[in-house]
Amino acid sequence: MAPPAVLMVGTGEYTTGFVSGAASTSDKKVGVVGLTLFDLRRRGKVSALSMAGVSGRKFPAIRQHLQKNISEAYNGLDVSFSSFPSDDASDPEAYKAAIDALPRGSAVTVFTPDSTHYEIAKYAIERGIHVMLTKPATKLLSHHLDLVALARRHGVFVYVEHHKRFDPAYADARFRARNLGDFNYFYSYMSQPKSQLETFKAWAGKESDISYYLNSHHVDICEWMVRDAGWRPARVRASASLGISESIGCAKGTEDTITLLVDWVRKRTTTTTTTSGAAEGDSSTSASTGHEGVATGIYTASWTAPMNAGVHSQQHFHYVASRGEVNVNQAKRGYDVVDEGDLSGSSLKWFNPFYMRYAPDEEGNFAGQGGYGYVSFEKFIDAVTAVNEGRVSLEDLDERGLPTLRNTVLTTAILEAGRRSLDEGCRTVEIVGEGEHVELK
């Protein structure tokens, strides 16, 4: 069977590294999605590539950018792709024609504003196309659950790009945490500098917020770490700071920093046997459910961190259990560079080649296949191929613990609960139910 064709929906920073007519000023100057898929095509894991955006007029400049910064940098790597809409048109629904052009069993990556994920994914799923969604999968829990049912009905694989699960330190921390006793406390912080709001200004504070964008990383990591021990989120309360985003042109009310306070509970069922009529040996059994433990999770995200701090993204967490703790700081990894010629700000930089390694190999080819950003995509493509060839079922993929749509329901529940809390005067929102019957109250 031929490798799957892949459509990239969204042409911005994460896909191409091209923002506002030039290469991004972030750590993704040549993007992630496009570069990874171009290399996977070189390795024979994907076939035809296409890209869909809103404005086709951007494509000539995007092609020039990719040719200069990827093809010429990596030994002539093929950066060709079909594009939708045409170069002289603008169409916010161009993704539909692009999806219609794919054969069944193809795949689509969706890296677009959060509010658009549901409609794009639904359109693809209904046409037998496998889907990778950037996090958060959807803004609304109801939409997430609808996609779970829809994907099962159409037999397609839907995967959420929670790449931090493949960060070696985070994955190892999860493994070691299993032997540290009962979950007690989790604190995380993730941020990006306020310059990123120039990239996100079109939707920041209007269509989504910084909690959906960045807290989604560590909310998922925490849920992934504790779920097998029976822990689940029960209550969410959110708090936010304001002022900086508005001062640089974002919509009124755009939060700068959002913190989620989550109560986690682990339920236990106790069985009681009572005996009556001893001569006859009559007995009855009853079960009652209580809480075996309660733990606290605090997740903070900001997109107004100071400029020139030496890192693009602060990212760390602290996990405490009954017999130990884990501290992971993935902003400063013992690797720093001083460049006096860098006039963009601080000359001292902490880089993260463990996410995307952009340095070529000895033959001039892209050599970042071991980066956890790349690994996340390769696992999705390998799973799509295995499903298409009948070597694995969707249930098998869920059981492997991958960030499938079904395995990330509670992450979406927490994120939407946080948004509801902010919108309703910082009230506490309850998460009730189990499996695919979760709801917010």
Q: Is the pLDDT reported for residue 287 higher than 60?
A: no
For 35-64, how does the pLDDT look when each residue is reduced to its tens digit (9 = 90+)?
999 999 999 999 999 999 999 999 999 999
* Shared domain check, 255 and 326: yes
Percent composition of the chain: helix, strand, coil (DSSP 3-state, to 5): 35, 30, 40
Predicted local confidence at residue 291, as pLDDT: 59
Whether 181 maps to a domain, the answer reads yes
Residue tagged 């069944």 (tokens): 104
Q: Do 255 and 141 share a structural domain?
A: no
The 10s digit of each residue's pLDDT in 312-331 is 888 999 999 999 999 999 88
- Per-residue pLDDT of 88-97, as tens digits, reads 999 999 999 9
Q: Is the pLDDT of residue 84 over 90?
A: yes
Tally of structural domains, the chain: 2
Strand partners, 82: 50
Residues of the domain holding 379: 5-164+374-404
DSSP 8-state class, residue 366? B
Q: What is 137-160 written as a DSSP string?
A: S-SSHHHHHHHHHHHHHHT--EEE
What residue type is assigned to position 274 of the chain? T
In a domain, 369, yes or no: no
Q: Considering only residues 126 and 331, tell me which one the structure prediction assigns the higher pLDDT.
A: 126
Question: Domain check: are 222 and 287 in the same one?
Answer: yes
pLDDT at 286 over 70: no
Assess whether 142 and 203 both reside in one domain.
no
Residue type, 192: Q
- Tell me, what CATH number does 392's domain have? 3.40.50.720
290 has pLDDT over 80: no
The angle at the Cα of 110, spanning 364 to 384, to the nearest 5 degrees, equals 75
Whole-angstrom Cα distance, residue 405 to residue 373? 19
Burial label for 201, CB within 10 Å (0-12, 13-18, 19+), is middle
For residue 203, give the amino acid letter: W
Please tell me the pTM assigned to this model: 0.91
Same domain, 10 and 119: yes
Which of these, 380, 381, 357, 379, lies nearest to 369 by C-alpha position? 357
Give the separation between CA 289 and CA 245, rounded to whole angstroms. 46
Average pLDDT of the chain to the nearest whole number: 91
For residue 142, the cross-strand partners are none
Whole-angstrom distance, CA of residue 439 vs CA of residue 222: 20
